[in-house]
Structure 1
Amino acid sequence: MTFDSLNLIEPISKAIKEEGYVTPTPIQAEAIPEVLMGKDLLGCAQTGTGKTAAFSIPILQILTNNPGITGRRRPIRSLIVTPTRELAIQIDESIRTYGRHTKLTSAVIFGGVNQNSQVNILRNGVDILVATPGRLLDLMNQKLVSIRDIEIFVLDEADRMLDMGFIHDIKKLLAVLPSNKQSLFFSATMPPAIVKLSAGILRNPVKVEVTPVSSTADTINQSIYFVDKPNKITLLMDILKDKKIKTALVFTRTKHGADKVVRVLQKNKIKAEAIHGNKSQNARQNALSNFKDQSTRVLVATDIAARGIDVDNLQHVINYDLPNIPESYVHRIGRTGRAGLMVPPFLFATQRKKPI
């Protein structure tokens, strides 16, 4: 199957070809036709498999084929809710990429920054809004955003929403959204709590599940190092002596741990930056930008950033600390192995025995 076989309209097809994409991923091939038919959808696919395009492409086509109200006061027609600022920005970038030849507009709103610039964009009217729950509810309470005209609603990374405690915020949004909307529900994992939540959102949904729950992508080669805790940082620096490792994404369990690793790496003349919840939005975006252009070699992150980091050709992910649950490991290493790239993440396992 190719994108040409999905009957996409010319403006979207043109943008896809300009990006060099020919063959849709499994989640895209299965989800796009169903969404274009107006069906509710329950999508389960591991991170890095192309879920964003699986919903953004058909949303752009549906809204283009069915023009709404034009002018400055046109209502928001599609709402995409996602748990983190990084992921919200990434989704908005994808929508702008695939929709650049359409007349549709989009905006992204998230907390941690002054709301004024976001509000000014919304006042001009946007067709598609990407939002994190907290900032969205805040602006709704201020009467600066209305979601009563939403035609297509997307809840992305639903399992992460629950992990981060957003379940009550999601329920508040659902109470305001119109009942006759099309709903798309995407999650990397499907534990019972997620299945229950989806049942309250979707109507006779089509289920698209392209990988087993909590599985890792076949394109990822995995290695494990057994090392006692005091020697972890020494092992990390030894690994980074390999000049073939142009960039590496390192995951720690805590914010303090991330900052500590960065300090040691910088002291040993390895350019590193941290990205976690205590960093300002500008600091996080600058660190990510520096990592993408390879001016920063090592980006040290906590799990809050695991699903919002999208870096082309990222070849190395290092789990400095073991994650607490299997799904976190899947999300972490899913930052690499994207678009079919074969890559090797490392896992550091702590034990009392002599390191090997």
Structure 2
Amino acid sequence: LGVMPTNGPEAVDEWLQVTALDPETAVELGDRPTVPLREAATRHLDITRVTPELLRFVQKQSGSAELAKLLRPGNKIELQQWLYGRQAMDVIAEYPFKAPWDEWKDLLGRLRPRLYSISSSPKTNPREVQLTVSVVRYEFEGRSRAGVCSSFLADHSKGVDIPIFVQRNEHFRPPAPETDMIMVGPGTGIAPFRGFLHDRREAGHTGRNWLFFGGQRSEADYLYRDEIESMHADGFLTELGLAFSRDQRQKIYVQDRMREHGAQVWKWLQNGAHFYVCGDAGRMAKDVDAALREVVQAHGRLDRDAAAAYVEQMAADKRYVRDVY
């Protein structure tokens, strides 16, 4: 589901303060009527994202030697480390300058919708769409920071008409009724699989279902606990692999649970099971992919190349599908 957020009033106020721009400046946005800058910054402009264009603009305006050094091609890692946690307001505040709106207007991109996996099924409730959203909040050098859309939904969406749209995903959907499915979705990656399970139950699918789920701590991060355990107890969720990394001294992740049950995972795959992954692309999805290849190699008694070919054929056959971000 695509959700169109607005920037929070605190973020807009801070951005206007650090840029020293007049909030009443008339702003033309191409296909839209002219509006005051405050409204444009709230509803239409991406004011928090740090882009290469913004960094070059700030460096040019401020004349910062430090920022110029960070922007050199050989300093990409240092730049990434420096940018961690920073929003545009932090960069501008660190290297203050004043520039007229005419120099800003072509620099700022449009505020874009955010895409969330739908965590419900229209077969269960055709008039309602449910999302599973983790609200991003953190402190950066004593200043509160938040994710644009997650904080909008949490703090500013009550009583507001929110523009939404459905983004089709042709291949990320439950398999045929009799086909088994293995789902790996820690954290909010559980979202589509909750929808899959609701959909399959309502439709009377007979294929087996296996969920690998986890987070840091079961007490705080076991999303939909009652629902998941009820499905497992009555047998609809055939197998459940839980991995809460901080609940014990040794960190355990979903890919570790996959390896522990590798022989059974391989049997399911040989039986035609579809394998789904949803969640963090940066680390989790890569680790799960590596674990899948290890399971296929070890329990299929294949060499590394043959195991890779098996997994790649699964992907080509749309039996191995990922929704990662």
Q: When the two structures are superposed, what TM-score results if normalisation uses the length of structure 1?
A: 0.28
Structure of greater Rg: 2
Q: When the two structures are superposed, what TM-score results if normalisation uses the length of structure 2?
A: 0.30
- Structure ranking higher on relative contact order (CA contacts 8 Å, 6+ apart): 1
